[in-house]
Structure 1
Amino acid sequence: MAGDTTTIARPYAEAAFEVAKADGTVDAWAEGLALLGAVVEDPQVTAQIGSPNATSQQLRDLIFGVAGEGLSEHLQNLVRLLAQNKRLIVLPDIARLFAQMKTVYDGLRHIEVTSAYPVDDAERSALGERLKAHFGGDVDLTVAEDPSLIGGVKVRAGDIVIDGSVRGKLERLSNDLQF
């Protein structure tokens, strides 16, 4: 279902980002969407959104009540639109996608590196410099350890995946040998 909600959320996030860029309010939008996403992820609010007895107007008023008075007119309109289309549940995905677009817009790329072995500070720094050169911009590096990779690293930057792990190479070799 997460993939489905991301697909539904993407056009809303892209449209919101275009409005935010045009208005010069990208930071304010990011904060507002993060707040709305957190509100919708609250278990009590999620239960209300999933209730067949709750009307769109009741759900919209609930979101506005919890979020407080600080929502811009654009954000209020987005909530109204999502409530009308019964898609309030995708607000956390919209916030996440918007944050990703903002990161790229700000010239910072979030990169997840998974290594078979622990990465020390010197290796992390060197890896960060190489990835900065490869992707052409500042990088925010998150490093995790996964011994099942056997050796090497796996790099994920948005939709781009570079699998330099031994496990990945073995899987590709296995696939090649099956034909």
Structure 2
Amino acid sequence: MAQSSSPISGVAERYAGSLFELALQANSVAKVESDLNSFEAMLAGSSDLTRLINSPVFSGEEQAKAIAAIADKAGITGLTGNFLRVVARNRRLFAVPGMIKAFRQIAAEHRGETAAEVTSAHELTAAQQTELKAALKSVAGKDVAISVTVDPSLLGGLVVKIGSRQIDTSLKTKLNSLKLALKEVG
């Protein structure tokens, strides 16, 4: 199960845990994880979808219909599609990003991996991701499953979060540190 010390809400952990148990029984953990990644990408790319899951204005029924249509159109079927529909009917769509994060953590732990969140200024190539995984494996002592997001405001470098540790090598942070140091001198 996901650690209770994580910033993920209890609701998200419970739903993710239940989904993981069902996926494990159905031998479809990889498929569910892939579907959740697809849904997360859709969330990141659509402000309307984000508004739908976060807005209390929409009824549970409206959210369920919309999510069903979106999931069907995106090819998110089976266990993941049903899961999203149940979450919508239960008015818990606001917690879906946390559920996805918790599911990833649970799945990684099950595979004997540790999960790492990587934020990069630019899209990482497959070779860079492989090299990063190898470097993180030497630090963590076990295989690392990475989740990469792009944040151009970093300007360059990476921010890596593994458990409670954060490694920030971003140019943005270095420039802010330099700015602070110059203010102290001047």
Normalising by the smaller structure, the TM-score range is 0.5 to 0.7
Q: Pick the aligned partner of 1:73 from 58, 75, 78.
A: 78
Q: Pick the aligned partner of 1:27 from 22, 26, 30.
A: 30
Question: What is the match of residue 91 of structure 1?
Answer: 96
- 4+ residue segments displaced more than 6 Å: 124-127
Give the 3 Å change call, closer, same or farther, for CA 157–61 of structure 1 in structure 2. same
> How many residues are treated as equivalent by the alignment?
138
Quick check: which has more Rg, 1 or 2?
Answer: 1
Distance 2:133 2:99 in 1: 32
Deviation at 1:62, TM superposition (A): 1.2
Distance 1:145 1:157 in 2: 13
Distance 1:92 1:40 in 2: 9
Counting aligned pairs with the same residue, the percent is 24
Give the gaps of 5 or more residues in structure 1.
114-123, 147-154, 164-179
Deviation at 1:162, TM superposition (A): 9.3
Deviation at 1:91, TM superposition (A): 1.2
1:55 has 2:59 as partner: yes
Letter of the 1:65 counterpart: A
Distance 2:134 2:81 in 1: 45
Question: What is the match of residue 163 of structure 2?
Answer: 158
Deviation at 1:88, TM superposition (A): 0.8
User: Partner of 2:9: helix, strand, or coil?
Assistant: helix
Deviation at 1:128, TM superposition (A): 4.9
Question: What is the match of residue 102 of structure 1?
Answer: 107
Give the gaps of 5 or more residues in structure 2.
1-5, 119-131, 149-156, 168-186
- What do residues 119-168 of structure 1 show as CA deviations (whole Å, max 9, x unaligned)? xxxxx999756535xx4x224689x679xxxxxxxx96324x499xxxxx
Deviation at 1:35, TM superposition (A): 2.4
- Counterpart contact for 2:67–2:85, Cα < 8 Å: no
Alpha-carbon RMSD: 3.6
Give the 3 Å change call, closer, same or farther, for CA 107–43 of structure 1 in structure 2. same
TM-score of the two chains, using structure 2 as the length reference:
0.56
- Counterpart contact for 2:52–2:63, Cα < 8 Å: yes
Distance 1:44 1:64 in 2: 15
Question: What is the match of residue 18 of structure 2?
Answer: 15
TM-score of the two chains, using structure 1 as the length reference:
0.58
Distance 1:52 1:128 in 2: 40
